Amino acid sequence: MKKSNYNQLMIDVNDDIYKERERQNAKWGHQRHSHETWHVIASEETGEVAQAIQSVKGWAKPTDAQDLYTECIHASAVYAAFAEQVLEEMRASTNRKD
């Protein structure tokens, strides 16, 4: 694959993740959770990725997620939200005067 095509894929995927983050913020508001809670939320999303993989493989049950790309974007957006909080916490701790 040409580098320009690879770069465009990165741009397209990251654009979809950004749009999903905007959708999540509109739906849930600005979320802040414990790291453990974020891990649970992200794990649930990762489980939906696994269900979509099962669907692609023909192993799915009727309740399994069907769209692998969409589930990857959802899981990535949750991890991005988690990372946003971690970065916010890191920046806040560096700005603290002890």
What is the token pair recorded at 77?
């957006």
Predicted pLDDT of residue 1: 67
Cβ contact 97:38 at 8 Å: no
The C-alpha angle 82, 43, 66, rounded to 5 degrees, equals 110
Stretches where the chain sits below pLDDT 70 are 1, 97-98
Whole-prediction pTM: 0.85
Instruction: List the one residue out of 77, 72, 52 whose CA is nearest residue 63.
Output: 52
Predicted pLDDT of residue 66: 77
What's the burial of 52, exposed, middle or buried (CB within 10 Å: 0-12/13-18/19+)? buried
Give Dmax over CA atoms of the chain in angstroms: 57
